[in-house]
Structure 1
C-alpha cells in the first residue's frame, strides 16, 4: 500500500509554523492604576490572562480568564495592543505566539473584592504605571505602556520580541527579586 502524495496546498500548510494565541486583560481604576497578577508558575507579574482555547474568540478568552483568575466579570472592549513572540517552533516553549491586549474597562473605587484562582494566582495588586518596573522587566513594561497609550490615543501597535528576549526579561526581573512579596 502506497502513501498518498500530499497535495501542494497540504504540503504548504504542513510547513507553516503554528503559533499559540493568548490574551492579556487590561483593567484600570479611576486613579490610573492597572490590575496585575502574580502566578505561581512564572515570573514576573502581568495582566490577568492566558491562552485562547479552541473555539473561543480573544474577547471570550479575556472575559473567561479575568473571571477565572480574579473573580471580576467585565466585558472585553477593544483591542489595545498586539504582542508577537518570535519563535523557531523547535519545541513548545519556542513556539511563535500572539498576545492580544484587550481593554476590559475601569472598575470603581473602592476596588471590588478579588477572588484569586487558588491554584494559579499567588497575588494581585493595583499598580500605578510609574511603578511597573518594580513588578516586571522593561520589555513587558513597554508592552503594557503601549496598551495604555492605545487606551488614550486609540492607536493600536504591534510590538515583537524573540522568545530569548522574553526569557531574558523574565530572568533579569527574577534575579532582581523585584515585586516579590
Structure 2
C-alpha cells in the first residue's frame, strides 16, 4: 500500500513531469583529445558521467563520477552546455532528463594512468574531435563538440532531443559499427 501524498501539495505540482538529472565530465589532454569511456550498460562511448545523487550539486556529481569511472580527481570548472532529453514521463524509460556538461580541465601528457570502474566501465580512450564519429552517434558527437566550442569561448547552449531520437542515434551508431 502506498502512502497518500500530503494534502497540502497542490494538484498542479503532482502533475508536473519529473526529470532525472545527470552530468558529463569533459576532460581533454594538451593535444585536444577528449577522454571517452565505454560502459557495460550502453553501447556508444561518451564522456564520463552519470546521475546526480540526492544531496549533491551537479559539480560534485561530475567530480565524483569522473573519479569513480576513471580514477581521475579533477575539479569541475564552468558549465559548458546543457542537454535536455524530452520524454512524456509515461514511464521510467520515458522520463525527461537534463544533463549538465562541465569542464573538468586538461590532463598532462603522458596521460595519467586510469583506474576504470570494473563493474561499470569496460574501456576508455583519448579521442581527437575529428574521430568522435567512430566512437559514438551523431547526437553525442554534437554534444561533445558543443562542449568543446563553449570551452573555446562559444556560448553555453541547451541542446534538446527526444528519448526516441537518442535511442535511434545509438542504434544507428551500433548498426554502422557492426557493418564495418
Question: TM-score, normalised on structure 1?
Answer: 0.93
Q: Which runs of 5+ in 2 are unaligned?
A: none
SS at match of 2:130: helix
Partner of 1:29: 29
Deviations 1:88-115 (A, max 9, x none): 0011110000000000000000000000
Q: Which runs of 5+ in 1 are unaligned?
A: none
Q: CA deviation at 1:4?
A: 9.8
Pair 6,114 (structure 1): closer, same or farther in 2 beyond 3 Å:
same
Aligned residues of 1:41 and 1:120 also touching (Cα < 8 A):
yes
Q: Which segment drifts farther, 77-86 or 146-155?
A: 146-155
| Displaced runs of 4 or more, over 3 A | 3-7
Q: CA deviation at 1:155?
A: 1.4
1:52 pairs with 2:60? no
Aligned residues of 1:80 and 1:154 also touching (Cα < 8 A):
no
SS at match of 1:59: helix
Question: TM-score, normalised on structure 2?
Answer: 0.94
Count of residue pairs brought into register by the alignment: 176
Partner of 1:62: 62
Q: Distance in 2 between matches of 1:53 and 1:145?
A: 26
Partner of 2:121: 121
Report the aligned-residue RMSD.
Answer: 1.7
SS at match of 1:150: helix
Q: CA deviation at 1:175?
A: 1.2
1:1-181 mapped onto 2 (5 Å cutoff): 6=7, 10-177=10-177
